[in-house]
Chains A and B, each alone.
Chain A
Amino acid sequence: DAGITQSPRHKVTETGTPVTLRCHQTENHRYMYWYRQDPGHGLRLIHYSYGVKDTDKGEVSDGYSVSRSKTEDFLLTLESATSSQTSVYFCAAALTGQGTTEAFFGQGTRLTVV
């Protein structure tokens, strides 16, 4: 499972507060991804990283930022949480780019913005 752990697993936060979710991997995968899962939408890509300090936007990046200062950690920050960001967030990691190797997923983080 590429040793991917997400923290926290559950979080309730208030509208307008900043929130940071952490993804940690132990297998030295170069590529990492943040997705959100919503009913009727499947998994939508928020941001991804193709190396340390190298990140780019996905399909639904507005209101989110990411950072990757080390290979093993990929942080997702909600700059000012809104109720529309209530979702389940999944992190994934892959060894190679261009989707040529499988992605391994973390357990997910359930975020509720009240």
Chain B
Amino acid sequence: ILNVEQSPQSLHVQEGDSTNFTCSFPSSNFYALHWYRWETAKSPEALFVMTLNGDEKKKGRISATLNTKEGYSYLYIKGSQPEDSATYLCAFGPDDKIIFGKGTRLHILP
């Protein structure tokens, strides 16, 4: 069974604060690691796809890192804004599948 674990399950952050959450995945048979942002009543949208150990990607205030040897990735949000409220999904790409974690639900407090 291929498990993608995300923590924490839910997170409340004050507006303006920075935060991060974790995704862990099997380090064997690794091909790619994805991060998606999923707003309520919408469909998931990709933030990053990372394939190489040590990859770091950035999009505005959001960035991600990847460690394939130990099987984890971090997503960082700098200076949280109300529009960052969403569920953040991590997904792992073994073979031709894309397996998702259960997500981290981020709530930004005004």
Residues in chain A within 8 A of chain B (CB atoms): 31, 33, 35, 40-45, 48, 50, 56, 58-59, 90, 92, 94, 97-108
Contact = CB atoms under 8 A, between A and B. Distances in A.
Contacts of B26: none
A94 B102 CA distance: 20
A92 B91 CA distance: 13
Contacts of A108: 43
Q: Is the interface of B mostly helix, strand, loop or mixed?
A: loop
A42 B89 contact: yes
Interface in B28-81: 31-34, 43-46, 49, 51
Interface string B84-102: 0000010111111111111
Interface of B: 1, 31-34, 43-46, 49, 51, 89, 91-103
A60 B110 CA distance: 39
B100 A43 contact: yes
Given A42-B102, A106-B43, A108-B43, A101 B49 contact: yes
A31 to B, nearest CB: 6
12 contacts: A42-B101, A43-B89, A45-B98, A48-B98, A50-B96, A56-B96, A59-B1, A98-B95, A99-B92, A103-B34, A103-B98, A107-B43
